[in-house]
C-alpha cells in the first residue's frame, strides 16, 4: 500500500493497483475490485463485526426511544395529570394585598354622577333629557333613610336632573342639595336603600409626601366605572390659579393636594384614599399639557368638610361681604392711576370701584377709589388675596380692619361683615 504523498511518483502502476491503494486510504470499500477481496488483511473482518455491533446498538436505541404499547399511554397520562395540576393551581390562587383589601372596602362608596339637562328642539318644539356630562362622587353619610354624596360643583353645574350609578350598576335618582363654585364642591342626596358602604373621613393634614394613595372613580364615563389608580402624595398645600369665566384673569386660587395617581376627565368628584381606607381628598382636576405628565389634583378633605357641612345645612356657603365692587390696581393703566394720588412705592392693591348703599362698607365710610392694601394685618396684593382672606378667614358678623390709601393718605377702617355672595 502506498501513502498518499507517494501517489505522484513515476513507478508504473496498473489501474487496479491504483484503485486498491486509493480505496484503502480513503476507506471506500465499495470501489474495490472483487478479485482482491480474498487477499484483504485479516483486520477487515474485525471491521465487519464492529459494524454489525453498531447496527444492533442503533436498533436497540431506536426501540427504547420510540413510545410503544402502554408506555405511550403512561407518558400522555402523566403529562395530562401534570397540566391539570398546573391549571388547578392557577385557578385556586387568591391574591390579597393591603391595596386590594382597601379598594374592596371603599369601592361601593364611590358612585357615578350623571348630569342630565333638557334638550329643546327649536324646529319641533320637543324636549328630551340629554346626558351632558358624567363624573364621580363619594357616599360619606347615611342617615334617616337618606345617603349623602360629595362631588365637584362642576360635575353637577346646570343639571336639571341627576342620576347616581352604584358600582354594581344599580341606579338612583339624585337631588342636588347645594354647590359651591369657589371650592368646587357639591352635595347630593339619594335614597339609602341600595347603599352598601360609606366612606370614612381621614386627616389630610397628616399626609406625608411620598405616602401611597389610591384614586377611585369613573374616568371617561361609566364605561370605566370603579377604575383604580395608584400613586403617592407628590405635594401638599399647592395653590392653583382658577379662571371661572375664562376671561384670562385669575379669579381664585384653589388649595389642593398633588398626586401622581392617574386622574382623568370623569374622575372628578371621586375618592382619593389612604392605605387605611380613609377619604383624604376629592379628586378635582389635572394639569393637562403636552409637556406635563402625572400631576393630578385633589381637594384636601380637611378643607372640604366645613364646606360639606354648610352645604348640608344651608344649601349654600354663606360668606361675609363688604358690599363693594373692586378692580386690581395692576390692571389700571399708569396714566389713569394719577387720579389715585398714590405714593410711588405703592404698586399693588385693590381699588374700590363702587360702594353698595347700606352695605358694611357704606356704613364704615369706605369711598370710591379707596385703594385697599391691608386686611387684619395681612398684605393685600390683588382681588384673589382679598377674596381668600374674606372667604377663608372671616365669618359673617366678624369685625375686620383694613388699611386704604385715599387721596394719598393711609387710613385705617373698621367694619362689621354681613352675609352675601359678593365682595
Which residues have a catalytic role annotated?
Answer: 154, 184, 268
> Which among 34, 14, 214, 35 has a CA at the least distance from the CA of 109?
214
Burial of 86: CB neighbours in 10 Å, binned 0-12, 13-18, 19+: exposed
Where on the phi/psi map is residue 393: left (φ > 0), alpha (ψ -120 to 50), or beta? alpha
Partners of 259 in the beta sheet?
Answer: 233, 296
User: Are the C-beta atoms of residues 298 and 283 closer than 8 Å to each other?
Assistant: yes
User: Are the C-beta atoms of residues 321 and 418 closer than 8 Å to each other?
Assistant: yes
> Which among 205, 206, 214, 139 has a CA at the least distance from the CA of 174?
139
> Which among 111, 277, 136, 100 has a CA at the least distance from the CA of 194?
111
Partners of 404 in the beta sheet?
Answer: 372, 411
Amino acid at each position: 500500500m502506498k501513502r498518499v504523498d507517494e501517489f505522484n511518483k513515476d513507478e508504473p502502476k496498473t489501474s487496479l493497483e491504483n484503485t486498491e491503494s486509493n480505496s484503502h486510504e480513503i476507506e471506500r470499500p465499495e470501489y474495490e475490485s472483487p478479485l482482491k477481496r480474498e487477499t484483504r488483511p485479516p483486520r477487515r473482518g474485525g471491521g465487519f463485526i464492529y459494524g454489525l455491533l453498531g447496527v444492533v446498538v442503533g436498533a436497540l436505541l431506536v426501540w427504547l426511544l420510540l413510545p410503544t404499547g402502554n408506555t405511550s399511554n403512561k407518558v400522555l397520562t402523566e403529562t395530562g395529570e401534570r397540566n391539570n395540576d398546573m391549571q388547578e393551581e392557577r385557578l385556586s390562587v387568591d391574591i390579597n394585598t393591603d391595596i386590594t383589601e382597601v379598594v374592596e372596602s371603599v369601592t361601593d362608596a364611590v358612585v357615578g354622577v350623571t348630569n342630565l339637562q333638557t334638550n329643546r328642539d327649536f324646529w319641533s318644539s320637543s324636549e328630551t333629557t340629554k346626558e351632558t356630562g358624567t363624573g364621580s362622587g363619594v357616599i360619606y353619610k347615611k342617615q334617616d333613610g337618606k345617603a349623602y354624596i360629595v362631588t365637584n360643583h362642576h360635575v353637577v353645574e346646570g343639571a336639571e336632573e341627576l342620576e347616581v350609578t352604584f358600582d354594581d350598576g344599580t341606579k338612583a335618582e339624585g337631588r342636588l342639595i347645594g354647590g359651591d363654585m369657589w371650592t368646587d364642591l357639591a352635595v347630593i342626596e339619594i335614597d339609602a336603600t341600595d347603599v352598601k358602604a360609606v366612606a370614612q373621613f381621614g386627616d389630610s393634614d397628616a399626609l406625608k409626601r411620598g405616602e401611597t394613595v389610591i384614586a377611585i372613580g369613573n374616568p371617561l364615563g361609566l364605561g370605566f366605572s370603579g377604575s383604580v389608580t395608584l400613586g403617592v402624595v407628590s405635594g401638599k398645600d399647592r395653590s392653583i390659579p382658577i379662571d371661572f369665566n375664562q376671561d384670562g384673569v385669575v379669579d381664585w386660587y384653589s388649595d389642593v393636594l398633588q398626586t401622581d395617581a392617574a386622574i382623568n376627565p370623569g374622575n372628578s368628584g371621586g375618592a382619593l384614599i389612604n392605605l387605611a381606607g380613609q377619604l383624604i381628598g376629592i379628586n378635582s382636576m389635572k394639569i393637562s399639557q403636552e409637556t406635563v405628565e402625572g400631576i393630578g389634583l385633589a381637594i384636601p378633605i380637611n378643607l372640604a368638610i366645613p364646606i360639606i357641612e354648610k352645604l348640608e345645612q344651608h344649601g349654600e356657603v354663606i360668606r361675609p361681604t363688604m358690599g363693594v365692587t373692586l378692580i386690581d390696581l395692576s390692571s389700571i393703566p399708569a396714566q389713569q392711576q394719577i387720579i389715585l394720588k398714590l405714593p410711588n412705592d405703592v404698586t399693588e392693591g385693590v381699588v374700590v370701584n363702587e360702594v353698595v348703599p347700606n352695605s358694611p362698607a357704606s356704613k364704615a365710610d369706605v369711598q370710591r377709589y379707596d385703594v385697599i392694601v391691608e386686611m387684619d394685618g395681612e398684605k393685600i396684593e390683588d382681588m384673589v388675596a382679598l377674596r381668600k382672606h374674606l372667604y377663608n378667614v372671616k365669618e359673617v358678623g366678624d369685625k375686620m380692619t383694613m388699611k386704604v390709601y385715599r387721596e394719598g393718605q393711609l387710613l385705617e377702617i373698621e367694619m362689621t361683615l354681613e352675609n352675601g355672595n359678593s365682595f
